[in-house]
């Protein structure tokens, strides 16, 4: 499944919910399913600036993809991380760079998140793209 297909599937899933309270709960539930994040990965280098909550994103380059691990101390932000991981994790760097986050507008996330959460989401996206761009150039 490509990143574009992952976005389309996510948009379809969110379409099953009638209201934003149910969508928020779904996002929170997604966050609860994130893999455990090792404490030793919580370093100043992996901490994302621009997020109201504490967010850490660790990455490693693999032969043909970029692997991300991430966590937050806030439930809704953990869910947003899960959304991003579903779309961008373990994908080739060039695919990550080429995949615009159309799900933000299509789901209405930018409209329904507080400004600080929206800023944090964009900070996480910026970091993911920066990592992928760096790997695409060097890979």
Q: Is 33 a catalytic residue?
A: no
d(CA 67, CA 97) in angstroms, rounded, equals: 14
Q: Rg of the chain over CA atoms, in angstroms?
A: 14
Q: Residue 68: left (phi > 0), alpha (psi -120 to 50), or beta?
A: beta
Q: Which of 51, 57, 81, 124 is catalytic?
A: 51
3-state secondary structure 66-103: EEEEEEECCHHHHHHHHHHHHHHCCECHHHHHHCCCHH
Residues assigned a catalytic role:
51
């Amino acid at each position: 499944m490509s990143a574009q297909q992952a976005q389309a599937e996510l948009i379809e899933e969110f379409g099953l919910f009638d209201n934003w309270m149910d969508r928020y709960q779904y996002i929170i539930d997604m966050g609860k399913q994130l893999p455990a994040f090792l404490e030793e990965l919580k370093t100043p280098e992996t901490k994302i600036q621009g997020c109201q909550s504490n967010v850490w994103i660790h990455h490693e380059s693999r032969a043909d993809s970029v692997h991300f691990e991430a966590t937050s101390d806030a439930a809704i932000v953990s869910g947003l991380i899960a959304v991003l991981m579903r779309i961008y994790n373990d994908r080739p760097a060039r695919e990550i760079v080429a995949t615009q986050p159309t799900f933000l507008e299509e789901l209405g996330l930018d409209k329904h998140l507080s400004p600080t959460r929206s800023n944090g989401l964009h900070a996480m996206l910026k970091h993911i793209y920066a990592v992928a761009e760096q790997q695409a150039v060097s890979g």
